[in-house]
Amino acid sequence: MELIIDAQALGADLEALAAYSDDEPPGVTRLVYGPADLRARAYLRQQCDEAGLVVREDGLGNLFARWPGSEPDLPAVASGSHIDALPHAGRFDGTVGVVGALEALRALRRAGFQPRRSLEMILFTSEEPTRFGLGCLGSRAMIGALTPDQLRQLRDGQGRSLDEWRTSADFTAPLEAVALAPGAYGAFVELHIEQGPLLEVEGLPIGVVRAIAAPAALRVVIRGQSGHAGSVLMLERRDALLAGAELALAVEAAALGTGSRDTVATTGIFTIGPGAVNAIPNVATLEIDVRDIDLERRDQVLQAIKASTEAICARRHVTYDLIELNADPPATCDPAVVETIIKVCDRIGLPRLIMISRAYHDSLFMARICPTAMIFIPSRGGISHRADEYSDLDQIGQGVAVLAHSLAALSHA
Ligand code: HGY
Ligand code: MN
Ligand code: MN
């Protein structure tokens, strides 16, 4: 089937989404349920309507744009990703998978394709952990890994609840209806930028993901004693910042200590109080991200960090609270879906690399309820979660072509 991917339309969609941002170009900041996110969603809803898709949104704002197939009762085939962006991020993380899925469906319709299984584009709400401290909220809730009660307990950094945020964004459908019925999907494929250097280094246009690394996150709040920077002597201090600083270095040592290049750990958030140059810090909050493709090694690092927290705080006479925000297992992509994508690449003449994803994605959770795989396209310099994240339109168009042909094959599987 001759498929024409409209690179101009892709570019226009990405350009339009990038304009809905709370950052200076080329950076993008788009936190879930904020004004920029809502304007981006409205734009996408309009594109889905114009493409003739049947659109619905659930109580979290997950958006589903469906092209009913000839056998609409069969489990559908879906593709999608996210549009929320962490502060000062890039314009391609997530959005390539959303506008790419939309363009794949548009290209199939233009080519006169007739789906047997319905085809659906999904926009997952809140893939980034920025607002509520937990990533992949939409996909977790869709697969039942996050209950309505757990969702209702979520607060942002200022204490505003997820319920307040979602209802103010006009997502008022019951949270109880977010979890999907068993067998809702027959397959899921996500197109995403690699967010790493491998494809560019190898000079390859397509990555076929066989596994997704296991992410975990901790929040540690350390409490010491504030006091006058001039009059409290050094040996009398209980300085929360210094305990936190030691802990951040212990996090790095724990990751390096496994001896594997596949173990990574990051202290991405480190805030202190009261925040005066002449007052001893009495509180330090660290958020720590730990990942590995090997679950046991990842959990070893979590244990080592917990032990270091205990030891450092005891020695420095400060107290701490440690919360495990998430500790998810890795995902193995479905061999049959991987094979479908490989066959498409070979048929349309695109060299590909079978690889793992060190970043997590909504596919990590979709893989728990249906056969799932991912398609990667190169990231310039391997850069992501930065304003200078970049993939060119040819690369994106090639990824969308592989996606469209894969969805067509899966729709008739
Ligand atoms: O952090 C991640 O891996 C994803 O980009 N949110
Ligand atoms: Mn991201
Ligand atoms: Mn992403």
pTM over 0.85, yes/no = yes
| Amino acid letter, residue 20 | Y
| In contact, 364 and 137? CB cutoff 8 Å | no
Element (H, E) at 45: helix 35-50
The b-or-e profile of 112-142 (16+ CB within 10 A means b, else e) is ebebbbbbbbbbbbbbbbbbbbbbbbbbbbb
Q: CA 162 to CA 263: how far, in whole Å?
A: 32
| In contact, 198 and 355? CB cutoff 8 Å | yes
Q: pLDDT tens digits, residue range 41-69?
A: 999 999 999 999 999 999 999 999 999 99
| Residue identifier of the C-alpha nearest atom 3 of ligand 1 | 359
Q: pLDDT tens digits, residue range 99-142?
A: 999 999 999 999 999 999 999 999 999 999 999 999 999 999 99
- CA geometry: angle at 180 spanning 177 and 182, to 5°? 135
Backbone angles phi, psi at 242, to 5 degrees: -65, -35
pLDDT reading at 355 higher than 90:
yes
Closest CA to 70 of 26, 14, 118: 118
| Count of other CB atoms within 10 angstroms of residue 168 | 12
pLDDT at 86 (0 to 100): 97
CA distances for 128 relative to 49, 117, 119, 266, 343, angstroms: 26, 30, 25, 16, 32
| Residue identifier of the C-alpha nearest atom 5 of ligand 1 | 359
Ligand 3 centroid–CA 127 distance in Å is 7
| Count of other CB atoms within 10 angstroms of residue 322 | 16
Q: Is the CB of 360 under 6 A from ligand 1?
A: yes
End-to-end CA distance of the chain: 16
Strand 119-123 relative to strand 76-81, pairing:
parallel
- Using pLDDT thresholds of 50, 70 and 90, give the confidence band for residue 1: confident
Q: Is the CB of 37 under 6 A from ligand 1?
A: no
| In contact, 71 and 7? CB cutoff 8 Å | no
Nearby residues for ligand 2 (ion, Cβ within 5 Å)? 93
Q: Which atom of ligand 1 is nearest to the CA of 128?
A: 6
What residues are designated binding site? 82, 93, 128, 192, 385
Q: Domains, the chain, ranges and CATH?
A: 7-213+330-411 (3.40.630.10), 216-327 (3.30.70.360)
